[in-house]
Structure 1
Amino acid sequence: MKIRNRALSALPLVLTLAAACGDGEGGDTTGAGGMGGEGAGGAAGGDAVTSFEVTLENVTPARAYRVAGVFNTAVGESMPGPLFPEKSFEFRVGALPGDRLSFTTMFGQSNDLFYAPDGAGIALYDASGKPVSGDVTDQVLLWDAGTEANEEPGAGPNQAPRQSAPNTGAPDPDNTVRLVQDDYTYPAVEEVIQVTVTPEPGNEFTIRITNMSEVGTLMPEGGEPAAVPLSPGLFVVHTMDDPLFTVGQAYPDNGLEAQAEDGNPMMLHEGATPRAGLTSPAAPGVAVVHGSGAPLFESGEADRGKGLEMLAEDGNPSALAEALEAEVGGESGISSVLVYNTPVGASMPGPLLPGATFSFTVTARPGERLSFASMLGQSNDLFFAPSEQGIALFDASGEPVSGDVSDQVTIWDAGTEANQWPGVGPDQAPRQAGPQMGADDPTDQVRPVDDGYLYPASNQMLKVTITPAR
């Protein structure tokens, strides 16, 4: 965040409603910056012009989980493996009020037992919206997956530490997921596992799972005193109930069996990953037809201070469009500029929600290219755009380009504001108190996003299609 113009900070967020961007079915295409071939912004020169319909569709699917991941390496260790006494797994999640945490980890000295919260999960905020902090072990329970018949804990020949191979035990006659209840004796939950939640800045939380067992926690009649190793596991942040299993129902075919019998969470993770991640609107944006230059930004260089910051941080393209319109017909090679701001079928400007489409028309001559930029709404200063050179509107033989060009679009970091966890950061447009609220980005460069957070591929969020008029 670099406030270059105090007047800009008073503008309303376009993600809420950008009245400043004008009205229209697909965008503002009038005036000197219009792309209809009229006025100073129309295509000029002797070559025949071609009209192109450009559509931007938000194809982000609904997500079951805000976050899904695996914990598998103890703090201080360099390789994945089981969690032994006095060791801890640790991971971080982003969450908003209403979000809950669920996880699974195998009770290592068993046939198919695992620790997890109940179907509601562990609330990460209290009823007043305050982040939860401290020991939440009392919300963790020992479950029987119902996939393999139980043997004495710490002594069974078909339990992970002693079995010759996976899946060697007899089937459980009761195939439902349930709290463990058999004729054997088990230690109290807190004698084996401790789970703590620590709030961090930016609506993030550090989760720590510690093995509290020791040799003698298990005293099997058919074996030696033993501790209880805990396995690597899966974690998810969710709002739904029963995100991984349903109590009293048959164990799901989602990888829970491999987790509970063999301590392997990877099948669970493979199933959870496509259902997890960021869902976001795209903001209204600006489109430019130009020659061989880079009208919006140059990768690896600082923002030019012409309005890209406002577009990328607050979803407002008006300042950038105004600056670009002033360059139409000049040395920059820009032939026309427009703002697109109203989803197809909508009557007012607004953000592009999942399933919705922006549509606009541009005109161009052979050799010209299309650039555009739209904020990724659930971010601090990220935006969708092609490379700095834009998308060629004609092929090498001068024929108009047609079809899906989504693979030419990237998620860019404007380099103007420090990034927070996508979709939960308090300084991101949907949650910030006003424009220009976040800390400055220490890397003051426009670049493809690479900040350690997980993002869907651009083409999994925004589908871009170009169709020449026939």
Structure 2
Amino acid sequence: MKINHWSALAFLPLAFTACKKDNNNTGGNNSSGTTLTVENVLNSKPLVESGTYQGTASPLILPGQSVSIQFSAAKGEALTFASMYGWSNDLFFAPANPGILVYDATGNPIEGDVSAQIKLWDNGTRVNQAPGAAVNHPGTAESKSVTEVNGTDAQGNIYLAASKLVKASLKYNGNSLFTLTLQNISGGTINETPLSPGVWAVSYIVGGQLRNPAPLFTSGQPSANGLTNIAEAGDNSVLNTYLKSITGIFTPLSPILVVVYNGIENPIYKTGENDRGQGLKPLAQQGNADTLAAYLKGKPGIKAVYVLQAPGTKVLLPVIDGKAGGMVSQDLTVSSGDRLAIATMYGFSNDWFFASVDNGVDATQKGDISSSIKLFDNGTAIDQFPGAGITQFNLAGTPLVTSKPITAVPNPNPFTTLPDISNMIRVILK
């Protein structure tokens, strides 16, 4: 079944059909009712990555020196950064928002000289003196908005184009990983200057929209969040602290596969085995639980199968700007000896899925069973940085095929450090 990409902040509805198995467990006198509730409790962040950079011989990046930034990105995501024009009162180098796009319209990585995308900006907090080593810091205060410097500043001082002072080169390393190299080429020009240590950031893209298209500054608005510390003094610590606070994990959960069974092992998966070809792969790669649900219905030991979709969005969105995450519930009729297992895709991944560990849980118990859930790698697609992979299905990509056994996702993993499972998904029986 063909399904749509998650393509709006609330996401377009996926073509999932809620599969409900007719309960064939008469259960006898020991049958009882319980309600399963699954909730996405992830406190999502708008930035997928951020960090700092500085020179190698000293924190400053002097004329002739260079510095590199390594980052991951999906199609539509961009890299932004900021460094002080050191021999100025409050000027800084940065690309225009949302930053340097690293893929073309067809999804091919961009490589080579991208210096033309770098601009020179006036932070608007100090009156500009003639640029040079003799600038008196910090200078006279003023209160204006951030503006681009095009040839001359507000005081009439002359500047070459930023691309004549800072060279930016982009290299694609494969598997959605890029390196941006910034080289100070201002030596010998009328605008010779050191560059300060800086900050950089990459925003998540959700439904074709960047979660934070202007993490460092907004042209025409006052400087904020510590950018002034960079622009006036080359101090990147304050803005870095702010960026860290909005950098982290963002992922929806796909519609939830729920299976009630008795007398058999967990029918969804088994660690150490390769994907069985029964429908877990579409769930783990695309968030489509219907294939596996249809396969399991009617099999020996299977008592009931459900696919639970969040109202309106189908997927369970995370907590976004304080708004509660998606939640689904299902009434169940269970008997002594029944087991319960669930599975749902970590949406912004290549083939990671949350699932009940081992042989699931006693379906008659009550309470929070979130501790019975772990995150697994289905082993059917090559992994990339979660939320920043060009081949991730829900970021308009096509997963690259591999074949490995199902394993638990380590934490930290080669890409990032995830929150505790209980801070991403909550599962309750009551």
Q: Same fold (TM over 0.5)?
A: yes
Provide the rounded CA distance (Å) in 2 between the counterparts of 1:29 and 1:326: 8
Counterpart CA distance in 1 for 2:4 and 2:305 is 16
Q: Which runs of 5+ in 1 are unaligned?
A: 1-10, 159-168, 220-225, 330-334, 395-399
Q: How does 1:22-421 map to 2 (within 5 A)?
A: 23=18, 27-30=19-22, 34=23, 39=24, 41=25, 48-59=30-41, 64-65=46-47, 67-72=48-53, 81-84=59-62, 85-97=64-76, 99-119=77-97, 121-126=99-104, 131-148=109-126, 150=128, 153-156=132-135, 158=137, 169=138, 172-179=141-148, 181=153, 182=155, 188-199=161-172, 201=174, 205-214=178-187, 228-237=194-203, 239=210, 242-252=214-224, 254-273=225-244, 275-276=246-247, 277-288=249-260, 294-321=266-293, 328-329=300-301, 336-344=303-311, 350-353=314-317, 355-364=325-334, 370-391=340-361, 400-403=365-368, 405-406=369-370, 408-421=372-385
> In the aligned structure 2, how far is the partner of 1:460 from the partner of 1:195?
42
CA separation of 1:153 and 1:304: change in aligned 2, threshold 3 A: same
Partner Cα distance (2:72, 2:348) in 1: 16
* RMSD value, Cα: 4.1
Q: Distance in 2 between matches of 1:262 and 1:392?
A: 61
Distance, in Å, in 1 between the alignment partners of 2:122 and 2:395 is 41
SS of the residue corresponding to residue 267 of structure 1 reads helix
Note if contact 1:150-1:172 (Cα within 8 Å) is conserved in structure 2: no
The normalised TM-score by structure 2 is 0.75
The count of residues paired between Structure 1 and Structure 2 equals 404
What are structure 2's unaligned runs of at least 5 residues? 7-12, 319-324
How many Å separate the matches in 2 of 1:100 and 1:15?
20
Q: TM-score, structure 1 length as denominator?
A: 0.69
- Cα distance in 1 between the residues matched to 2:123 and 2:409: 43
Counterpart CA distance in 2 for 1:259 and 1:290 is 62
Larger Rg: 1 or 2?
1
> How many Å apart are 1:298 and its aligned residue?
4.2
1:330-378: CA deviation from partner (whole Å, max 9, x where unpaired): xxxxx734122443468xxx54455543321234457765321112233
Q: Distance in 2 between matches of 1:316 and 1:142?
A: 47
Whole-angstrom distance in 1 between the partners of 2:309 and 2:264 = 29
What's the CA shift for 1:73? 5.7
Which letter does structure 1 place at the counterpart of 2:303?
S
CA distance in 2, matches of 1:290, 1:155: 81
Contact 2:53-2:197 within 8 A present in 1 as well: yes
Structure 1 residues 221-278: Cα deviation after superposition (integer angstroms, max 9, x where no partner): xxxxx751431322234746644223333222x1212232343434334433454553
